[in-house]
């Protein structure tokens, strides 16, 4: 459930989605159907494989905006199969048809992300369940909160939602800064110890500098398996008594995530979760109608 402020912001976003899809009106439905026609519809899973459903809460709000009544049959995060009904909707036929595509688009996208996140979390869990599988900020504009919620439903970690959540010094910062040490020192002055500091490194030398400069989290970016294995060994040698977390990121997907998990990092982050997960097929089917 959303708190009130978040709910109101979400509702505004969903209204924008509807306007984007409907424009000035659904001319086909308005030309074909009488305005007083009531209808009943079901949203049904059409996936060939079991899937984790997500986006039902958001879809319910979309239908509510258009004065439709909704009965959610399963909770977001539930596993569903082909043919399973997940939602019943009743209301004006014109309203149901107006919402149909926006609601299905969200459910299909969020379910795809949640399902794939759960698959990768389970794969990593076979090695070590304490390793966090995280998404990145590689999300479609306007969809970040939905994408990240789907990742969390799938058992993953949202990481940063926005740039104001933590200090993460990346490669382009280091191009402009005098050195890793200077960048970390400058950030520490501004932070006043309020949060963790993470530094992205692209080679072993940068990693050593970042550890010695006091980074709380080291991100090994685009390290090969062999390079990452060497880096993990070096961190253990030079960190002393400090607890430094290690995040591995870049070029990771289902094909190699288990290999990287065997190196025992704290976090594995991958943009794949939000930019390459396949949508799960759901459909809305009108079952009957009646005059209001």
Tokens of 253: 């997907």
pLDDT, mean of residues 137-149? 93
Residue bearing the bigger pLDDT, 220 or 161: 220
pLDDT, mean of residues 243-251? 94
| Contacts of residue 61, Cβ cutoff 8 Å, sequence gap at least 6 | 10, 11, 14
Beta strands in 151-244 (DSSP E): 167-169, 197-201, 217-221
The pLDDT of residue 292: 40
Per-residue pLDDT tens over the stretch 92-106: 999 999 999 999 999
pLDDT bucket at 206, cuts 50 / 70 / 90: very high
Residues 289, 96: Cα–Cα separation, whole Å: 11
Q: Are 109 and 52 in contact (CB under 8 A)?
A: no
Instruction: Give the CATH fold of the 122-275 domain.
Output: TIM Barrel (3.20.20)
Query: Model-level pTM?
Result: 0.93
What are the boundaries of each domain within the chain? 4-113+278-291, 122-275
User: Is CATH 3.90.1170.20 correct for 4-113+278-291?
Assistant: yes
Helix or strand (DSSP H, E) at 72: strand 69-72
pLDDT bucket at 108, cuts 50 / 70 / 90: very high
């Amino acid at each position: 459930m959303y708190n009130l402020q978040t709910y109101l912001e979400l509702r505004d976003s969903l209204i924008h989605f509807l306007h984007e899809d409907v424009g000035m009106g659904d001319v086909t439905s308005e030309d074909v159907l009488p305005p007083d026609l009531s209808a009943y519809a079901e949203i049904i899973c059409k996936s060939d494989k079991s899937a984790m459903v997500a986006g039902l809460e958001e879809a319910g709000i979309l239908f509510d905006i258009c004065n439709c009544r909704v009965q959610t049959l399963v909770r977001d995060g539930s596993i569903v199969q082909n043919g399973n009904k997940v939602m019943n909707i009743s209301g004006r036929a014109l309203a149901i048809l107006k919402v149909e595509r926006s609601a299905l688009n969200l459910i299909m996208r969020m379910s795809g992300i949640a399902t794939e996140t759960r698959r990768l979390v389970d794969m990593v869990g076979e090695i070590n369940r304490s390793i966090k599988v995280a998404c990145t900020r590689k999300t479609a504009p306007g969809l970040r909160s939905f994408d990240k919620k789907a990742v969390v439903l799938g058992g993953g970690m949202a990481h940063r939602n926005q740039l104001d959540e933590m200090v993460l010094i990346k490669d382009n910062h280091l191009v402009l800064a005098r050195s890793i040490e200077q960048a970390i020192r400058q950030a520490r002055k501004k932070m006043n110890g309020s949060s963790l500091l993470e530094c992205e490194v692209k080679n072993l030398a940068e990693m050593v500098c970042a550890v010695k400069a006091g980074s709380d989290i080291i991100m090994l970016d685009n390290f090969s398996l062999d390079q990452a294995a060497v880096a993990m060994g070096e961190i253990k040698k030079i960190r002393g008594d400090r607890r430094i977390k290690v995040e591995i990121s870049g070029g990771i997907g289902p094909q190699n995530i288990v290999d990287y998990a065997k190196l025992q990092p704290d976090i594995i982050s991958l943009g794949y979760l939000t930019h390459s997960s396949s949508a799960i097929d759901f459909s809305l089917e009108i079952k009957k109608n009646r005059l209001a």
